[in-house]
Amino acid sequence: MNLQTLTFVSEGTTCEATHYVAADDSLATSAGRPVVVMAHGLGGTRDSGLEPFARGFAAAGLDVLAFDYRGFGGSAGFPRQTVSLEGQLADFRAAMKAAAALPGVDPTRIVLWGVSLAGGHVLRAAADRTDVAAVVSVVPMVDGIAAAVHATATHTKSELLRATARGIRGRVSARAGRGSVMMPIVARPGEIGAMTLPGALEDYLAIAGPTWRNEIAADVALELGSRKPQADAARITCPLLVQIADFDQSAPPYASAKAAFKGKAEVRHYPCDHFDIFEGKPWHEPALAHAVSFLVRHLTPSATDTAAAPALEVIDA
């Protein structure tokens, strides 16, 4: 498969991305091929589980631009391993601009794909845009307060209090110029970490690529607390697919369902947990097949533009 590494600039910071060129022109019009812009969730890098999705989309006739947020993976930016919701949203928009300029791409048919934290970013990035042709939001984290309430079912009160205290200490330290207080992204139950559910450490390590670091600024909990991109879903005018893990212990499924309702989305449900849509898990192939089918259905050009795309076999969940 034809792919290349490239860079683009977001608010003065150089971000790194991988461009997967579409395998064919089955979805092309005279203006070019559609392009998927994709990014990871909390602390994730583009080499950590995104490639199987990117290759699946490229094989179906879509170009793909998978990128790292500022401060993560191959991208520049300081402080490192620090989540800024507004910064990551700006990176998404800069990546969209870079994708629109790729050779052979139709700049009016941008697709946004995001998983977990990025599943919320794509709702915000697509709102009120006329150049976004479709959105795929996968096991999205769309409501910080709902996620905090959801966490009380799987974490003790002392664990939540410790995480909050560490986040406050980290925020004060960073603002005082003393640097961030760091903690693991994933850890075992009872340990300090942003995600400490049973199996989360093993699941994340299973998809982790060489640029991924199990470290994140501890004020991430405070950063996520005000997050509510589900409110932006109603302002999306293009087709929207929301893929929900019904037993998701990290991103509350009911919040995802509310966002999907607001966005008049097509919804797919999977009887699994948060990480079970990645390669190596039983629900990866159905989730990918449903996303490909959704995109091919909405992006296949009319007969007047080019020949229709071949039919795709869909694996139903």
For each of the domains in the chain, give its residue range(s) and CATH number, in order of start. 3-151+228-299 (3.40.50.1820)
pLDDT of the residue at 314: 39
Q: What is the pLDDT of residue 215?
A: 96
Question: For residue range 175-225, what is the model confidence (pLDDT) as tens digits?
Answer: 767 667 899 999 998 888 888 889 999 999 999 999 999 999 988 877 776
Cβ-proximal residues to 262 (8 Å cutoff; 6+ apart), any chain:
230, 231, 233, 234
The pLDDT of residue 18: 98
Q: So what's the pLDDT on residue 221?
A: 78
**pLDDT at position 312:** 36
- Which parts of the chain register pLDDT below 50? 150, 152, 307-317
What pLDDT is recorded for position 75?
98
Of 19, 29, 171, 175, the residue nearest 99 (C-alpha)? 19
User: What's the pLDDT at 224?
Assistant: 77
Report residue 73 as tokens: 């993976």
Q: What is the pLDDT of residue 171?
A: 62
Amino acid found at 233: A
For position 54, what pLDDT does the model report? Answer: 98
What is the C-alpha R_g of the chain?
Answer: 19
Tell me, what's the pLDDT at 219? 85
The Cα 299–Cα 276 span in angstroms is: 27
- Point out which residues pair with 8 in neighbouring strands: 15
User: Residue 14's CB: how many other CB atoms inside 10 A?
Assistant: 13
**How far is Cα 115 from Cα 136, in angstroms, rounded to an integer?**
9
Give me the chain's average pLDDT, please. Answer: 88
